[in-house]
């Protein structure tokens, strides 16, 4: 089968013929239809410090996908051939305290699809049936391809109650955009989105932000004033991984405000701890998705009319992966999809 492979420990990805994955007991084999390009894939392609420390070549990359089940391993009973599925890309140990307690998103030995084992940028991917999400509600194929990052957005956005609250989202990348859409849909009063890219701020406006603010030109406090907020934001969703964004967020929260932080900073950095303590701000780190409560929420949010269409801005055949990756790396558009069906 064809697959996008990190063949050598150097920058690049190569479309190669590789053997189809083995289907072990408890696994399902999925014929991949579409995949989403994630920041992680960009790191692996660029072969930066994180990638060269974390990845062992050769590796089939990719973890955001939708496809159709074509084969069942021994003992699989609750997934059927022909089911349309996406996959939870965190493979958990099943044995640690959190796994045994049903808190699989807190597993201490998570292995990432397309990071620690062969991934989904291929004609076929094999996964444990327990990592598969069957789309029982009809869903657009492109949206189904990005359930993994959509889940990051939902997990973060629904960490704290949002109804009637004023929400600040720092970072209008694909995940920040989806989080803003979820906050809006879930009943927030104002959703303010910040970024430094005008193109991405335009997407934030399309997805329903009350205000999209370019922080290279204006300050968040100006946005507060424009919307008539007097005491700061109730909920913050940090989606940029940038130190200045978290610092600005902390400075613009109300007393007792809640911050859910998904953005992954490249390094340690100082923040105003006195403000966090004296304003009694809650700061919660978010990793991945809750299995499978977040996935349930995603499906029913879409069923209830949540529209993610503006988030997807690039569609390419898998053979045009160079152009697709350049598009995704530009940092200007939304999500980029690769089609594997032709």
Residue 99 makes contact with Zn ion by CB under 5 A: yes
- Which residue is listed with tokens 């094999």? 126
Residue closer to ligand NAD by CB (options 170, 190) is 170
For ligand NAD, which residue of 28, 122, 286, 311 counts as binding (CB under 6 A)?
286
Residue 157 makes contact with ligand NAD by CB under 6 A: no
For Zn ion, which residue of 33, 96, 271, 329 counts as binding (CB under 5 A)?
96
Q: Show the binding pattern over residues 32-71: x = contacts ligand NAD (CB under 6 A), - = does not.
A: -------x--------------------------------
Q: Is 138 exposed, middle or buried (0-12, 13-18, 19+ CB in 10 A)?
A: exposed
> What are the E-state strand segments in the chain?
2-6, 14-17, 27-36, 59-60, 64-72, 84-87, 90-91, 111-112, 124-128, 132-134, 166-170, 190-195, 211-214, 233-238, 253-261, 282-285, 312-317, 335-339
Residue closer to ligand NAD by CB (options 130, 170) is 170
**What residues form DSSP beta bridges with 51?**
none
DSSP state of 130: G
Min separation Cβ 94 and ligand NAD, Å: 20
Is 175 annotated to bind a ligand? Reply is: yes
Active site residues: 40, 43
Residue 18 makes contact with Zn ion by CB under 5 A: no
Is 89 annotated to bind a ligand? Reply is: no
Q: Return the CA Rg of the chain.
A: 20
Residue 175 makes contact with ligand NAD by CB under 6 A: yes
| Nearest of 155, 163, 151, 142 to residue 310 by alpha carbon | 142
Q: How many residues bind Zn ion (CB under 5 A)?
A: 7
Among Zn ion, ligand NAD, none, residue 170 binds (CB under 5-8 Å by kind):
ligand NAD
Among Zn ion, ligand NAD, none, residue 92 binds (CB under 5-8 Å by kind):
Zn ion
For ligand NAD, which residue of 131, 197, 254, 299 counts as binding (CB under 6 A)?
197
Q: Is 286 exposed, middle or buried (0-12, 13-18, 19+ CB in 10 A)?
A: buried
Residue 302 makes contact with ligand NAD by CB under 6 A: no
DSSP state of 338: E
């Amino acid at each position: 089968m064809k697959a996008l492979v990190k063949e050598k420990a150097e920058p690049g990805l190569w479309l190669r013929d590789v053997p189809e994955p083995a289907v072990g007991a408890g696994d399902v084999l999925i014929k991949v239809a579409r995949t989403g390009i994630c920041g992680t894939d960009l790191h692996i392609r660029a072969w930066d410090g994180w990638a060269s420390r974390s990845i062992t070549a050769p590796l089939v990359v990719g973890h955001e996908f939708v496809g159709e089940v074509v084969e069942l391993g021994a003992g699989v009973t609750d997934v059927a051939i022909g089911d349309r599925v996406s996959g939870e890309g965190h493979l958990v140990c099943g044995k640690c305290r959190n796994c045994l307690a049903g808190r699989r998103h807190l597993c201490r030995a998570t292995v990432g699809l397309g990071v620690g084992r062969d991934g989904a940028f291929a004609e076929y991917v094999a996964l444990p049936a327990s990592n598969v999400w069957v789309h029982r509600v009809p869903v657009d194929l492109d949206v189904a391809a990005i359930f993994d990052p959509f889940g990051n957005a939902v997990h973060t956005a629904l960490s704290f109650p949002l109804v009637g609250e004023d929400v600040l989202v720092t970072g209008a990348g694909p995940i920040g955009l989806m989080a803003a859409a979820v906050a809006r849909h879930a009943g927030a009063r104002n959703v303010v989105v910040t970024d430094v890219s005008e193109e991405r701020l335009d997407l934030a406006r399309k997805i329903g932000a009350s205000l999209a603010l370019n922080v290279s030109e204006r300050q968040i406090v100006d946005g507060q004033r424009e919307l008539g907020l007097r005491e700061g934001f109730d909920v913050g969703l940090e989606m940029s991984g940038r130190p200045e964004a978290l610092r600005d967020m902390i400075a613009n929260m109300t007393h007792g405000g809640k911050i859910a932080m998904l953005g992954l900073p490249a390094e340690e950095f100082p923040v105003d701890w006195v403000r966090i303590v004296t304003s009694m701000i809650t700061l919660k780190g978010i990793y991945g998705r809750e299995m499978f409560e977040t996935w349930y929420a995603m499906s029913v949010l879409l069923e209830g009319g949540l529209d993610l269409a503006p988030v997807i801005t690039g569609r390419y055949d898998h053979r045009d992966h160079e152009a697709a990756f350049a598009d995704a790396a530009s940092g200007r558009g939304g999500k980029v999809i690769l089609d594997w069906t032709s």
